[in-house]
Structure 1
Amino acid sequence: MKNNQHEFNQVLSDIVKTTRYVKTEVIQSLWSGYGEIARFETNVPQYLSSQSNRKDKTFVVKHINPPAIQQHPRGWSGDISHQRKLTSYDVEAEFYQHWANNIKPFCALPLFIGQASLSHSCLSSKMIVMSDLDSEGFPVRFTTISAENSKVCLRWLARFHALNMQHQPADNWPQNLWPLGTYWHLATRKKEFNAMEEGVLKNAAVKLDKSLNSCRYKTLVHGDAKIANFCFSDDFSQVAAVDFQYVGGGCGVKDLVYFLGSCLDEITLELNFSQLVDFYFTELHTALKSFKSSCDSQEIEKEWRPLVNIAWADFERFLAGWAPTHAKRTCFTHKITVAAIATL
């Protein structure tokens, strides 16, 4: 264990170019015990402290250190699940290293500082070092939010999607990320599919997947755009996103419906869903124009709007196998799913 910590410290020092740092806080543990995310602060001498502001002094380390024995909170352990997680961390490291710093000026997210694999473990231990969003002006977190305040996240998603929009992208796009973004798409969730109760939704699963993923216009989707992965400014007017393990190609409405389902209760969704979908598309048009995209925004909306309900039904399909009694499965989501299947 001492050698492991020595290597961790040495590699981290090489990345941040100093040995003067201290771990100040464990922000959270990674899913299924695969490591932790922690905040560090550089411990500069007092006589230099006036020359270094708080923003430069703190940074965040995502340390992936898979357990020898995997234990999933809902019982979905196994080689397939384990390999999917390992791939997701490779994808995230790739995204931060080769995409994030170009995206950051337009959509707030952590600045990539460095990443490295650690040799002390045969279980794919690595670290990703990034800037601290708290010190950059995004210290607020939510688990639920009002319909009005959700719009700042929808604006972020619209800008992210517009910035990365592709019309009939090449087969190898986006290189070294997930070919299909999101963690729940059918090809990666065969065990959950097999666990589904027989019925209309299971019978429609392949058609839902094909309808959603064969669109001509594709973008980068965040892939896990839940409210917990957004960091807000103190006045809630600005937002940054984190956790890009499942970023990849796809239809932007997957992020849209997953986000809304993550933060709004059933009644709020019932009352505001149509308005919030309209808001997202308005922001998408504005962002595409702002970025001088060569893609036709009207054609994108024409293709993507009918896929909103399809995307929701596709996520419902995942929940029906993964956690059939999940609180996100409501009368509202059932109604959307039924409507989506009727259009196939």
Structure 2
Amino acid sequence: MDWVKALSPKLGSISSVSEKKLGSLWAGYGFVSRLIVKPQQQSYIAKQVRPPPNGKGVGHERKVHSYEVECSWYSGPAQYAASAGVNIPLPVLVEKDGSGFTIVLKDLEPDFPNKSMKGAMGVKELKPALEWLARFHSAFWSSPASQQRPSTESLWPQGTFWHLGTRMEEFDSMDSDDWLRDKAHEIDARLRGFSSFAALQAGETPSNQHQTLVHGDFKAANLLFSSNSTEAAAYDFQYVGRGLGALDVAYLIICSSSLPVVEQSEDELLAHYHHHLMSCLDARGQSDKSYTMEVLRMHYDLATLDLFRFMRGWGWWGAIPSSRGDEYARKIGARVFGKHL
């Protein structure tokens, strides 16, 4: 791409742009580069999406649409989130070119130079990440807001990359006698704001209470930290959409931490997120006393079971070893459904 031509209308006079490839996108759908713009000596991150021309199937359509959603995010809601104090990269260029997409973002690394340590995140790293989630979720909380928010209609109606509606192939690959398969539609319905799956089938209108925007892929690989590691920033918004904030919290803790963290610090981490979310909502004049720790725990348990359902069909990873996955899931299921499973 002729970067000088593409970026000059956005950045002013440019003498040259050097490009260094940083890595490939998932499944070879493009690549990410760092651009150094001269004479300003400013760095930017370019995400060039180039789907395979012979791509087909549900997985291909999901990936392509995820980049369309990311373009929509950076074209509107991102600026609103940044104005609410959420640390994210702001766009310089967002465009669709042919069958692909190009997104150029301000580089976060000068202000957030620390990447998550290799391996599992510890409590020290998880807490600023959870504070990031609290700010992000509060900015799009379901309670009436005094500010005018940008439309989120072009984002996913149901955020996350693993929700049941977009992962039926994985659902079909689960064992036919898997109890999580039997409960999958009930869990999905409750996460979407229905009182039950039966209510969804009966045409009940789902509740918007406690719904917000979720990042949808909130993991260690998509996070950066300030030099003193007290603040986090996040990127990769392909799966941003509506949902319960606990979906992001569960994915972060279950898939980016370790078994000792889950077993010893889960309650502490949930309380940390809840405290900061309540503080953020209070600061925005949107106090929500109905969102108690008990409600958060129920949402977190549902989100964890939903994630386990996906992993049972796709492949297991994260803090809970596969050898203990069913034991752990059944313990949560007993809390959610009030009976031994």
With structure 1 as the length reference, what TM-score do the two structures score? 0.84
| Matches for 1:1-344 after TM superposition, within 5 Å | 5=1, 10-44=5-39, 52=40, 57-70=42-55, 78-105=56-83, 106-119=85-98, 124-135=99-110, 137-142=111-116, 143=118, 144-167=120-143, 174-198=152-176, 199-214=178-193, 216-293=209-286, 295-299=287-291, 301-323=293-315, 325-326=316-317, 328-330=319-321, 333-342=325-334, 343-344=336-337
Amino acid at match of 2:137: H
CA contact (8 A) 1:312 1:336 kept: no
With 280-289 and 334-343 compared, the bigger mean Cα shift is at: 334-343
For 1:22 and 1:310, how far apart are their aligned partners in 2? 48
For 1:10 and 1:132, how far apart are their aligned partners in 2? 20
Structure 1: segments with no counterpart, 5+ residues: 45-51, 71-77
Q: Deviation per CA, 1:85-125, whole angstroms, max 9, x where unpaired?
A: 11111111111110112211411000121211223xxxx21
Displacement after TM superposition at 1:67 (Å): 2.0
For 1:289 and 1:332, how far apart are their aligned partners in 2? 39
For 2:222 and 2:281, how far apart are their aligned partners in 1? 24
Amino acid at match of 1:318: F
Displacement after TM superposition at 1:68 (Å): 2.9
Aligned residues: 313
Q: Structure 1 residues 155 and 339 mapped into 2: Cα distance closer, same or farther (>3 Å)? A: same
Q: Structure 1 residues 118 and 274 mapped into 2: Cα distance closer, same or farther (>3 Å)? A: same
With structure 2 as the length reference, what TM-score do the two structures score? 0.85
Q: Aligned residue for 2:200?
A: none
Q: Structure 1 residues 303 and 167 mapped into 2: Cα distance closer, same or farther (>3 Å)? A: farther
Amino acid at match of 1:222: H
State, as a whole percentage, how many aligned pairs show the same letter: 30
CA contact (8 A) 2:258 2:320 kept: no
CA contact (8 A) 1:24 1:40 kept: yes
CA contact (8 A) 1:110 1:133 kept: yes
For 1:233 and 1:18, how far apart are their aligned partners in 2? 31
CA contact (8 A) 2:49 2:100 kept: yes
CA RMSD of aligned residues (A): 2.3
Amino acid at match of 2:107: D
Moved over 6 A (4+): none
For 1:228 and 1:102, how far apart are their aligned partners in 2? 24
For 2:276 and 2:251, how far apart are their aligned partners in 1? 17
CA contact (8 A) 1:115 1:126 kept: yes
With 306-315 and 207-216 compared, the bigger mean Cα shift is at: 207-216
Q: Aligned residue for 2:196?
A: none
Q: Aligned residue for 1:74?
A: none
